[in-house]
Structure 1
Amino acid sequence: MATPTLDLITLRKGCASCSLQQLCLPAGINLRELQELEAIVKRKRPVEVGERLFRQGDRLDAVFVARDGAFKTVLVNEDGDEQVIGFHLPGELVGLDALGTGVHRCEAVALTRANVCEVPFDELSNVAAHVPGLQRQLMRVIGQSVGRDQDHREMLVRRQANERIALFLHGLSERLRTIGEPSETIRLPMSREDIARFLGLALETVSRGFTRLQEDGVISVHGRKVQILDVAELDRLAHGSEPPGDRARVRA
């Protein structure tokens, strides 16, 4: 049975907080162009926890965006061990890793039950070729993905575990703000083990880091719910700046 396309009302409602809203509805788009875009966006069946959108070595056929739920992207070695290289929230495109070679270098795994929209890449490219503004919007989304990769590299060079964790939580908070979600109350879709693999730390180190941030009054942790209590201090730790007292002593 063919996968049904989204009708316009559903498209507008489902993509209200989604990066695809900017792709599908660029400024100045006319009705005919909008219908072309609408026709290529397909609704996939719900994706279950642990299910993969694509695997390493798969050809780039489509890019995906979670209407809800979250995903992780992982590299899997010959022994089956996973290295987590990214997390993807609702509204963020998944599958851009294959843009350079046409082949996926990683796997996308559902962290939660999710609903995703699938956009066949060749069709998206064809429509973008003659829809004004669409290519610019696509480049913007690609740039945001590159920025997240750079943030990840910055995390890995931090020496202090609590700084890596602070930068991780700070970045997650900013991304939630971007998609219109509360940014100071974070429900982590990923496990502590996934966070450890993403930050290049031992699981015990991550647990101690969360505990230290909580004891210092920066965050409050209840299971996977993280409440940011001291936004300024989290920002300071994330960006590696000195405490105000230390700066005062230096000036003195």
Structure 2
Amino acid sequence: MTKINLLGLLENHALFRNISAVDLHTLQREVVKTELEKNTMLFRKGDQADACFIVVYGLVKLSIPSSQGNDKVLELIRPGQSLGEAMMFLDEPYPFYAEALENTLLLKIPRPALMRLLDRSPVISRQMMAGLSYRLLGFIRNVERYSLQNATQRVIDYLLQTSAMQSTNEVRLELKKHLLASLLNLSPETLSRVLHQLMDEQLIRVCGSTIHIGSPDALKTYQHSVVTLH
């Protein structure tokens, strides 16, 4: 088990910054550290939602399984983000599965422990509602993006957002290309065609799982100029 400062992680997480020291220490005793190796399932679709999770490090993929084997990627959960709260409140099973894409450490907060904390702290309740609202807004924006943006615009949007998150123009793809295509609601063939198109325009260079963006401003200008993808 990786040695971590559990109390420090809880104190510094946005959700728990305003709770009392007593509540924090009580919560600390009930939190379970969960380590997953790469490609390990955290839970499967249909499992009962009895906890929520906070990612300490690593990367978790949320997907809907498909009988054809082409699972639909819903979201990536990164360090500092949480998952599982909505199903826990509804007392419903998970409608998706969660898989670690890298070696990942999570904090598992059992449902009874979190419910007791929410009963005692209106501040925590409001913060959790805000977090769930942001997630909902994110899903709405994704639907809007898929409805209004063409394939080229979606790929550029992803590259620019990931570049900003990683604070570099050397973008490390977090997903294999067929999974990235699923996340962007594209076919793998369309994703490859768009990447080649951007390379031909000398806007990006691709080296394995790394994409070098020559100029984010030029890429953004090209995004706004593209109307259709042939």
Q: With structure 1 as the length reference, what TM-score do the two structures score?
A: 0.76
Shift of 1:43: 0.6
Structure 1 residue 22 and structure 2 residue 14: aligned? yes
Contact kept, 8 Å, 2:59 with 2:101, in 1: the verdict is yes
2:38 paired with 1:53:
no
Aligned equivalents of 2:172, 2:7: Cα separation in 1? 26
Is the counterpart of residue 133 in structure 1 residue 129 in structure 2? no
Inter-partner Cα distance in structure 2 for 1:158 and 1:55 = 32
Q: State the shift of 1:135 in Å.
A: 1.2
Q: In the alignment, which residue of structure 2 is the partner of 1:64?
A: 53
Q: CA deviation at 1:82?
A: 1.1
Contact 2:51 2:85 in 1 (8 A): no
What CA distance in whole angstroms lies between the structure 2 residues aligned with 1:87 and 1:123? 25
1:12 maps to 2:8: yes
- CA shift for structure 1 position 118: 0.9
Question: Paired residue for 1:247?
Answer: none
Hey, what's the Cα distance between the residues in 2 that align with 1:242 and 1:128? 48
Q: Is the contact between residue 74 and residue 83 of structure 1 (CA under 8 Å) also seen in structure 2?
A: yes
Q: Is the 8 A contact 1:71 1:89 kept in 2?
A: yes
Q: Distance in 2 between matches of 1:125 and 1:233?
A: 49
In 1, Cα distance between the equivalents of 2:160 and 2:195? 13
**Native 8 Å contact 1:67 1:116 kept in 2:** yes
The equivalent of 2:201 in structure 1 is: 216
> Separation in 2 of the partners of 1:97 and 1:211?
39
Distance apart, 1:102 and its partner CA: 1.9
C-alpha distance in 2, partners of 1:113/1:25?
27
Q: Kindly indicate whether the alpha-carbon contact (under 8 Å) linking 1:71 and 1:111 is maintained by their aligned counterparts in 2.
A: yes
* CA displacement, residues 73-121 of structure 1 (integer Å, 9 cap, x when unaligned): 1111344441111112122112245244522111111111211111112
> Comparing 125-134 with 105-114, which one deviates more in the overlay?
125-134
Task: Determine the structure 1 residue equivalent to 2:83.
Answer: 94
Residue of structure 1 in register with 2:181 after alignment: 196
Could you tell me the TM-score, scaled by structure 2's length?
Answer: 0.83
Structure 2 equivalent of residue 143 of structure 1 = 133
- Aligned-pair identity in percent equals 23
Give, as a single letter, the amino acid of the residue that structure 1 aligns with 2:15: L
Pairwise CA RMSD of aligned residues? 2.9
Supply the AA of the counterpart residue of 1:23.
Answer: L
2:167 is aligned to 182
1:226, 1:192 → 2: CA distance? 12
Instruction: Sort the Cα spacing of 1:235 and 1:139 in 2 relative to 1 into closer, same or farther, 3 A.
Output: farther
> Displacement of 1:194 after TM fit?
0.2
**In 1, Cα distance between equivalents of 2:221 and 2:25:** 46
In 1, the alpha carbon distance for the partners of 2:178 and 2:100 equals: 15
Choose from 163, 167, 177 the match for 2:157: 167
Match of 2:214 among 219, 226, 229: 229
Segments of 5+ residues of structure 1 without an aligned counterpart are 244-252
**In 2, are the aligned partners of 1:36 and 1:127 still within 8 Å (CA)?**
no
1:217–1:230 contact (8 Å) kept in structure 2: no
| 1:192-240 deviation line (CA, Å, top 9, x unaligned) | 00011122222121122123234434434322223443223444566xx
Matched to 2:186, the amino acid is L
CA distance in 1, matches of 2:201, 2:181: 21
**For residues 104-123 of structure 1, what are the structure 2 equivalents within 5 Å?**
104-123=94-113
Q: Structure 2 stretches of 5 or more lacking a match?
A: none
